[in-house]
């Protein structure tokens, strides 16, 4: 997974397939006090397509919280 982001100061910690799954991850991270940005192609959710990368949602957190976020998202985290 490419963790580089076009959002300065933010790092990609995971990629989910579909906006609903991404919102679940976002809620988990935010409940731990970690700010989250969701980065996705707007056409996917608008027309309900989740194939060929259109449904892919990148979950970004501040770079200084990336390790903490990955730890929370790891199995058993």
**Tens digit of each residue's pLDDT, the chain (77 residues):** 555 556 789 999 999 988 899 999 999 999 999 999 999 876 554 555 555 556 789 999 999 999 999 999 998 87
CATH homologous superfamily, domain 10-73 = Hypothetical protein rpa1041 (3.30.70.1530)
Measure the N-to-C terminal CA separation of the chain; round to a whole number of Å. 20
pLDDT at 47: 56
pLDDT at 58: 95
CA nearest neighbour of 15 among 44, 32, 31, 33: 44
Domain regions of the chain by residue span: 10-73
Contact 63, 9 (CB under 8 A): yes
pLDDT at 53: 57
């Amino acid at each position: 997974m490419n963790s580089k982001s076009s959002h300065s100061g933010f790092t990609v910690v995971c990629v989910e397939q579909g906006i609903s799954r991404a919102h679940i991850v976002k809620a988990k991270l935010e409940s731990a006090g970690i700010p989250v940005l969701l980065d996705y192609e707007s056409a996917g959710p608008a027309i309900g397509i989740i194939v060929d990368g259109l449904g892919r949602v990148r979950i970004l957190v501040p770079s200084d919280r990336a390790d903490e976020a990955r730890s929370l998202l790891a199995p058993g985290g």
